[in-house]
Structure 1
């Protein structure tokens, strides 16, 4: 399946669940004049073909093991899509599981947190040395993960945290972030109510602490992410 010629530039949104598309990525793409093409390989749907109308891809988070292509064969197809986009120098943004998929595609180890630690709530990430153009100062961001990844060889590390050595990196046209700057307060509240909510896990915040930090820091997270999105997907037309 190819994108239709003559349409607005298309960005493939690689999804791993059925949450509403009310996140900051979809909002930015619509405002900037892009057409979002949902990619739901996890549900057995075909992956579209990159063509001249394709402007980039965003690989969202989810609950699949990024490294387990044997159990989840569609992840191998998604990896080929990531590699094809990077080979064409198209913008690729990976978020949480999506970041792990980019790391895996580049040969890095990905797996459960070695410390057994979880991040579920709002936590500080810190700029890596020399990456202040990506993150000028520490930022409190939304998190929901218990996997981590090593830094792939030859990439640029962008952010870290006290408990996870790699929170963001770039490689060619790709940017990978372990955290969830795309999630709005409404979206995070859905996560709080979800069956998989990781309350009680090592490192997870309780709901009251999440709500307190969300109220204090979501505006700054939003402003930072808008800048990143604009750098990857500038207004079209």
Structure 2
């Protein structure tokens, strides 16, 4: 994770339900990363306010090098937002702003590609909070697409996945983000706070079901 107050939210809850213990680290405040990519059953890198392009930050360089190790070792990896963008950079793709300066902040429709129908039974209204997106790296499979940011989910190999949206966000986290980052709600493409909460009532259960199904297929329960 990327801030002292970061929360693994529903991803953490779901992984615990599957029988895993969490080893939560925040490299941005000095926590070391594992030296061995085989030390853990799987790795999740969450989002954060920084950019995957922030090579002047030691922790971004360290995380990027660690993801390189994970991908080379074909270890299970799940990158969420910034974590997906770091993965994309590791694989040679660019991470950039929308050409019109648009952001996705709120719920936005995500559509499966033909290759993504195994992961998305139909479209998903997914919670988003980001200003940058990623190009699809070579040798990767696009699993879901969107209107403002066309690359929403992708797979590399058999065990590494990156998604642009935030299935981990609980209602408490959503409300906290709306309060702490309210200045971002005036950005192009961002949706107002009341729409966030109304859309959560309409779409949150689908988001929860998607996450549970994805994690079951990605690593499943401990043996």
TM-score, with length taken from structure 2: 0.94
SS of 2:185's partner is coil
2:18 paired with 1:37: no
Q: Which residue of 2 aligns with 1:129?
A: 114
Deviates more, 1:85-94 or 1:153-162: 85-94
> Could you tell me how far apart the structure 2 residues matched to 1:194 and 1:114 are?
26
- Local SS of the residue matching 1:187: helix
Which of the residues 206, 213, 223 maps onto 1:220? 206
Structure 2 equivalent of residue 152 of structure 1: 137
Q: 1:91 to 1:65 in 2, by over 3 A?
A: same
Question: Which residue is 2:104 aligned to?
Answer: 119
* 1:155 Cα deviation from its structure 2 partner: 0.3
Q: Which runs of 5+ in 1 are unaligned?
A: 1-14
1:195 Cα deviation (Å)?
Answer: 3.5
- Per-residue deviation, 1:126: 0.6
Which 5+ residue runs of structure 2 have no aligned equivalent? none
Q: CA deviation at 1:224?
A: 0.7
Q: Mapping of 1:1-237 within 5 angstroms? A: 15-21=1-7, 23-50=9-36, 52-69=38-55, 71-172=56-157, 173-195=159-181, 197-237=183-223
Q: Give the C-alpha shift of residue 68 in structure 1.
A: 2.2
Q: Which runs of 4+ in 1 moved over 4 A?
A: none
- Structure showing the higher helix proportion among its residues: 2
What is the number of equivalent residue pairs in this alignment? 222
- Aligned CA RMSD, in angstroms, stands at 1.5
Change in Cα spacing, 1:153 to 1:196, as seen in structure 2 (3 Å) is farther
Distance 1:119 1:179 in 2: 9
Cα deviation, residue 51, structure 1: 5.7
